[in-house]
Amino acid sequence: MAIAAGSGITPIMSIIKSVIKRTEKSSLTLIYCNKSPEKTMFYKELQLLTKHFPNRLNIHWTFTETNEKDANFGRVDENYINFVLNKNKAKPNKYFLCGPEKMIDLSKKFLIKRGISENQILFELFKESSNKKEISDAINTGFLNIKYDDVFYKLHLSAEKTILDIALQAKINVPYSCQGGVCCSCIAKITEGEAKMKSNQVLTDDEIKEGLILTCQAVSISEKITIDYDDV
């Protein structure tokens, strides 16, 4: 499930496309708040996606300036989130929050109050951390193996470049958005080797222990590392 407002939809779009590419059992429910349909980013594209995947993408629109058919009027609040949660038959395993800080705080607190684990909630703050760590033990030579969309790639490591930088330089179309460590778009899982992140405002300690990383912030500290974008 995802809750977005305004330009907060940007990282959610890559998540939606990733979900649709997976098995037919995967689905996503989205609450998306804007002033009006005319001022909504990706409005036509999202409508087209719901038309093509009606059983896998469920969008609950809410607008603050115009009354629209089959849409809520007003901002995202506890009552509307509660309504969507009760209406949604599937039980989400992750909750993505992207938008203004007040909306994120309200949504996160309410989800936790509903009994949802904090480990299941990912969010974007729209602020890049100024406390980036220098990683002195980054590996300058070695190999990076990437699995994405069931295709394997073998690349060379560089201490000056993050895993995402290396992938993009090789023209691999992996998911990403902010490149600042404040969204969840570039998450992948380490299946071999180790990496450290310069900044992280999204992943919990438990998720990091499971091997999850933000590839836009991660550099390898082992001579061989394998990253899986499909297993997240």
> Among residues of the chain, what percentage have pLDDT more than 70?
92
Residue 174 or residue 101, greater confidence: 174
**172 plus 117 within the same structural domain:** no
CATH code, domain with 20: 3.40.50.80
Residues 108 and 198 in one domain: no
Establish if 16 belongs to a structural domain. Answer: yes
Residues 105 and 37 both lie in one domain: yes
Last residue of a domain, one of 74, 92, 124: 124
Whether residue 178 is contained in a domain is answered as yes
Taking each helix axis from N to C end, the angle separating 101-113 and 78-87, rounded to the nearest 10 degrees, works out to 50
Provide, rounded to the nearest whole percent, the portion of the chain with pLDDT above 90.
62
Q: Is residue 181 domain-shared with residue 95, that is, in the same domain?
A: no
pLDDT, greater one: 226 or 199: 226
- Both 150 and 204 in a single domain? yes
pTM exceeding 0.85: no
Buried/exposed code over 136-159 (b: 16+ C-beta within 10 A; e: otherwise):
eebbeebbbbbbbeeeeeebebbe
Segments forming the whole domain that contains residue 214: 143-228
* Residue 199's CATH number: 3.10.20.30
- Single out the residue in 95, 124, 153 at which a domain terminates: 124
Quick check: 177 pLDDT over 70?
no
With a cut of 90, say whether residue 175 has pLDDT above it: no
Does residue 66 lie within any of the structural domains? yes
What's the pLDDT score for residue 166? 96
Is residue 147 located within the same domain as residue 224?
Answer: yes
Lowest mean pLDDT among 36-45, 78-87, 125-134: 125-134
* Phi then psi dihedrals of residue 119, to 5 deg: -65, -20
pLDDT tens-digit map of 13-24: 888 988 887 778
φ/ψ of 85, rounded to 5, equals -60, -40
The whole-number pLDDT of residue 6 equals 84
Is 204 part of any domain?
yes
pLDDT tens-digit series, residues 56-102? 999 999 999 899 999 999 999 999 999 999 998 778 999 999 988 88
Determine the average pLDDT of the residues in 110-125: 90
| 185-194 mean pLDDT | 93
Q: Are 70 and 184 found together in one domain?
A: no
How many residues can be counted in the chain?
232
In a domain, 147, yes or no: yes
Nearest to 2 by CA among 20, 42, 29: 29
Shared domain check, 147 and 34: no
- β-bridge pairing 2-5 and 28-34: parallel
Number of domains within the chain: 2
Confidence of residue 125 (pLDDT cuts 50, 70, 90): low
Q: Of the residues 60, 92, 124, which one is the last residue of a structural domain?
A: 124
Same domain, 42 and 153: no
